[in-house]
Copies of this chain bind each other. A is one copy, B any other.
C-alpha cells in the first residue's frame, strides 16, 4: 500500500485562527481512494521549518500532499520551498497567466503584479487548473515519489482534488473504502444506536453512529477491491437499517432539504413558507438544493408584526391576544401564505431565537411550527431551553423541514 503524508501550511493554523477542515477532507478522500495516510503535519509560513517538514515527509512516504501557501503574497512560500527542496526551477505558465488575467477581468477587479507570481509553476509538473481562484495546483513526479500542491481555501481545494487530483492518485490505490450515511432526524444518537445494536459489531461493512446538531447518522463503511463490490456489501445492510429506523431515516447521503424536495416532487405538491425567528433560513436551506424552484415559489420573512398582517393576513386579534410567538400565530401564518400563494402547503415558524427575550414572559428557545395542506394541519411546540441564537435557528429550520415530511406522509400522530 502506498504511504501518503499531508502537510498543511499556514501560521493562522498554528495560531488556531481557523479550523483545519482540509485535513479531514483530504484524509477521507484518500481513505476512500485506498491510499493510507500515515501522518498529518502543520507548519507556519516559515521556509526553514516547511523545508524540514517536507523533506522528512518525502523521505518516509511515497506521496506528499501540501495545502496552503500558494497565494500571491510574500508569506505564501509553499511552491518556492518545495521547488528549492526538489531542485526544480519555477517557470512561467502562459496558460495560467491568461487564466488569472481572465479571473480578474470577469470580476471587474484590478490585477496586482503579485498575482503574476501565481502563474509560476515547477518545471515539468502537471498543472491543476483552479476554477475557483487564482492559485493553480501542481502534481510533481520526482523519481518514484509524487508531490501535490493544493490551494488552502476549501472552496478551491475540494473541487480541484475531486476533479483533477483524484484521477492522478488512482494508480496508487490499493482498493476502495466506501462510506454511506444513513441519515435520521427526530431520534437521538443513542436511541438510534440502540435500535441498530445488532449491526454495530459487523466487520465489513462497519457501522458507526454519529451525532450532528438535531440529526443522527449511521455510517456504513465497506472495504473492497472495487467500488461495485463495496456497494454490494453496503446495500443489504442499509436496507435492513432503513427498515429498523423507519420514518426517522430520511435519506442515504442526501441532505435534509434535498430529501424534502424529493418528497414534494413525489407527492406533486408545492410549498410556500412564512418565517419569523428563522429569518429566511428555511427558504435559504430549501433553495440550497438545485431542484427547489419546482416545488417552492413563495416565501415571506415576516420579522415584524406589520409584515405578518400585510403579507400573511395574520388577524390583529391573534397578535394581540396570543402574541407573535404562539401556536395561533404560526397556524395563521401558514394558512396566510398558503392562501396568498396558491401553494398546496403552507409552512410557518415563529419563535424566540435569542439570545435576548422578546420582552414577554415567554422563554428564549420557544418555537412554534405549523404546516397545513388545507385538510390536515400539524403543529409543534419546541422549547430548546437554550439561549444560543444560531442553535435555535438551525434547530427550528430542521424541525420545520421535518414537519413538512410528516405532513406529506400524513403522520398525524406524534412520530
Contacts and interface: CB of A to CB of B under 8 A. Distances in A.
Contacts of A190: 71-73, 111-112, 114-115
A73 B14 contact: no
A247 interface: no
Interface in A1-17: 11-17
A13 B383 CA distance: 32
A296 interface: yes
Interface string A128-147: 00011100000000000000
A264 B288 CA distance: 28
Contacts of A75: 208
Contact of A21 (B19, B29, B388): B19
Interface in A353-405: 354-356, 383-386, 388-391, 393
A287 B299 contact: no
A42 B23 CA distance: 10
Nearest to A30: B16
A311 B307 contact: no
Contact of A16 (B19, B27, B71, B301): B27
Given A28-B15, A38-B14, A301-B280, A71 B311 contact: no
Copies of chain A in the complex = 2
A173 interface: no
A199 interface: no
Contacts of A273: 301
Q: Which of A113, A280, A311 has the most chain B CB atoms closer than 10 A to its own CB?
A: A280
A98 interface: no
21 contacts: A15-B27, A15-B37, A15-B177, A16-B24, A16-B29, A16-B30, A18-B24, A40-B41, A41-B41, A56-B56, A71-B189, A72-B190, A109-B188, A112-B188, A279-B284, A280-B280, A280-B284, A287-B393, A290-B355, A293-B303, A299-B301
